[in-house]
Amino acid sequence: MSENPAVTPSDKDAELEREIRADRKFTLSEAIGRMAGGGMMKGVSPVTRKRQAELEIQGYLGSHLTDPGGVMSGVLLRRVTESDLLLGDYEHPLAVLASYLRHVLGSEYLLKELVREADTEWGRVFGERPHFEKEGCPPDPDDPYTHESVRITLSQFIEALGTVET
């Protein structure tokens, strides 16, 4: 490096970087790091905060939701991640999940729509005709998702979730 006073610190840094790289083999990881820019990879996750929140909700649903038909957690995940509630609060995804479930349980219409979507998804996944509940008729005994069973499952889930979100 030269001791020329006309050379600025940034020029000295660039010259030092050239010297260091002169004898080094260029790698794919280095190329990716350069494309990402100066501070991109310094302590910041490349996964967006929204995606991190979705993954946290997905993991919690997968390990804590009682799901006899096997599709309710996926339906709930899709609905919660598409809701405005999550857009407003990526920092507390389990609180968003609890809030969404309270909202669904507070509306007979939303609960019925959730059950209908779960029945549809169950039929698609298992290649069977879905079991939809009809007003005034008892639910099909083979239906894994009835209005009452989903209401009970979600209520119990919210209780357990309430102890975690604080």
- Pair 13, 91 in one domain: no
- Pair 79, 158 in one domain: yes
**Residues of the domain holding 146:** 49-165
- Pair 19, 64 in one domain: no
**Choice between 136 and 61, residue whose per-residue pLDDT is larger:** 61
Average of per-residue pLDDT across 67-82:
93
- Pair 69, 123 in one domain: yes
% residues pLDDT > 70 (the chain): 83
- Pair 13, 34 in one domain: yes
- Pair 56, 13 in one domain: no
As a whole number of Å, the CA-based R_g of the chain is 26
pLDDT tens by residue, 2-54: 455 565 667 888 887 777 777 777 777 777 766 766 555 556 677 888 999 99
* pLDDT for residue 164: 64
Distance separating the N- and C-terminal Cα atoms of the chain: 57
Site of tokens 């096997």: 70
pTM of the model: 0.69
- Pair 54, 131 in one domain: yes
